[in-house]
Structure 1
Amino acid sequence: MYCVIQSIERVVGEMVFRKALLITITTCLIILPISVHGWAVFDGGGLKPWYDLNRISNEGKVVSMDDMMAFVGFQREYLDVNAWARLGEDYASVQDLELLADRASKFFGIEGDYDHISSQGEGIIQVTVRGVNENKQVVSITCYSVDTSCDNNRKLESYMVINIVDRIQRIDVSEAKHSVEVFFDTIGLNAKITTTLVGSSKGKLSLKEMEGICNELFSHIRADRTEGITDGEFISISGYSPLFDECITSNGKSVNIQVAMRYNSYMDRTYLWIGVPIINIEC
């Protein structure tokens, strides 16, 4: 990897290299925006039709990821919430980023022993805090600044990324999302947030069965399929549902829901990922 980076830097030059590096970091750490809350209604063995259009309009186009998981009979494993925001020009030093990271760690209640790593060099300043809060949620906070200067014009681009993983408390998706929104409100920023809910079912499902589950989920949230990948025993489908308020654009198409499935032979379980607007973790 080091040799590859050296080659790139020789070809494109230091300024372009740093810009490309910023894009790479942003791709790895920054997640896209969403807005998800809501509920569905169970009736006997399944769900009632997903609201009438008047109710959706009056109460907001919302749908519960937990109910989607339960609808297909999968057990919730964990929830992953990711948020990012671009920082202002005031965050230009490692001290500035450390103060912000410490403020976030206190807000989210990180306690006991936790990791606090600061690094600076090659035009990049980064501070990372990672620990567990009182709700046994793993909280990761990353603040970083990249020098994208051109010629003699010094320019820094700074970002903050917060990731919360809930395995124990089974906190509601909307509650977890709200806590992140509140923090970014306190520092005057509007965060982009995405959520991924992971569930599993005992045993192995065939590719055809997994496709059937994904299609059934899309049908119940009135989602139109926009993209799909099938690779061996892995399937991923992205689409657009009118039940979600916000979306992203992918290849010129609107996307606000993604589902994926894969069998894990070691655990002997079939896993289901539901992401809004996309899945933000490795499947």
Structure 2
Amino acid sequence: MKKYLNIRIVMLVVLIISINFSHAENVPVTTEEPLSTAMQATGAEISEVNVNGWTKLAINDASDEDLEDAVKEAMSGFGITKENYKITRSATRYQRIVKAEALLRNMHIVAAAQQLKSLDKTKEPEVYLVINVDSKSQDEITIKDLNTKFANIMENFGGTPHITTCLVGWLDGKLVKDEQDKRLKDAFASVNARIITANTSAQYTSSTGFSPLIINQLKVGSDEININIAMRYSPYDNRTYVIIGSPVITMEY
């Protein structure tokens, strides 16, 4: 049973992928959305928004038609008509997936309905809806709009939305460690966030925290976290990338 649970979690993750209070000092903040506020406080501008989410559906033994209806309804929730997305199907011994994919001018949307079979034949299969959106946008309204649509779509299925939002931005050049630490501190302070963990390596710096301004949260051990900020220098384009996620970063950095 434990082995099956691990397999199921891995499948779901693969599909989803398919401190202290102080005042910010460096950059004046003019946004209202917390993640974009934190990004602006680092001095970087948003270049990419990624939102992904999943929910367990209230059906068990779903047909391919049921799975297809689910992804069609999800696409409709984004205002995308059937002429603008492609549907594909795949199946293995333990899962069946129907996926709808739309590649728009500045946005890539994938909605997938997945049925997972249990190794225990006495248990019913489980069906999940997973949605991922990549948007080339600098507008904080996009962040709010996507989160609202995700929640509405998943609640319409009677499920509980599990939503993760990630922003990507960048700064020119390489920051010395003191400057990087200061910008991270400013970012957390801009949303009244308490830093809970901090990790530094030769490649990146990553910290997690909790902000009362952010609704989403995740419990890790005895700690509740809802914001994760990482900074990484890329020598290939001489940029320091800033990645901000809530409740955690779920994309590669």
Report the TM range for the smaller structure's normalisation: 0.7 to 0.9
Q: Displacement of 1:91 after TM fit?
A: 5.2
Report how far residue 196 of structure 1 moved.
0.9
- For 1:69 and 1:187, how far apart are their aligned partners in 2? 33
* TM-score normalised per structure 2: 0.85
Structure 1 residues 79 and 278, CA, compared in 2 at 3 Å: closer, same or farther? same
Matched, 1:159 2:141: no
**Residue 181 of structure 2 corresponds to which residue in structure 1?**
211
Match of 2:21 in 1: none
**Correspondent of 1:263 among 210, 233, 239:** 233
Following superposition, the deviation at residue 45 of structure 1 comes to 5.9
State the distance in 2 between where 1:171 and 1:146 align: 36
Q: 2:228·2:248 contact (CA, 8 Å) conserved in 1?
A: yes
* Secondary structure of the structure 2 residue equivalent to 1:79: strand
1:130 aligned to 2:101?
yes
Q: 2:154 aligns with which of 173, 184, 194?
A: 184
Going from structure 1 to structure 2, the CA distance change for 1:90 and 1:122 (only over 3 Å counts) comes to closer
Distance of aligned partners of 1:107 and 1:233 in 2 relative to their CA distance in 1, 3 Å threshold = same
The alignment partner of 2:11 has SS state of helix
Unaligned runs of 5+ in 2: 18-23
Greater C-alpha radius of gyration:
1
Call closer, same or farther: CA 1:45–1:192 in 2, change over 3 Å. Answer: closer
Unaligned runs of 5+ in 1: 1-14, 32-41, 51-61
Task: Tell me, yes or no, if structure 1 residue 228 matches structure 2 residue 214.
Answer: no
Q: Which amino acid aligns with 1:209?
A: E
Task: Work out which of the residue numbers 115, 120, 128 in structure 1 matches 2:91.
Answer: 120
| Structure with greater contact order relative to length (CA < 8 Å, sep ≥ 6) | 2
State whether residues 171 and 240 of structure 2, in contact with CA within 8 Å, keep that contact through their aligned partners in structure 1: yes
How many pairs does the alignment contain? 245
Corresponding residue of 1:7 = none
TM-score normalised by structure 1 residue count? 0.76
C-alpha distance in 1, partners of 2:33/2:70? Answer: 33
Q: Distance in 2 between matches of 1:227 and 1:43?
A: 22
Q: CA RMSD in A?
A: 2.8
In the alignment, what sits opposite 2:20? none
* Superposition deviation, residue 20 in structure 1: 2.4
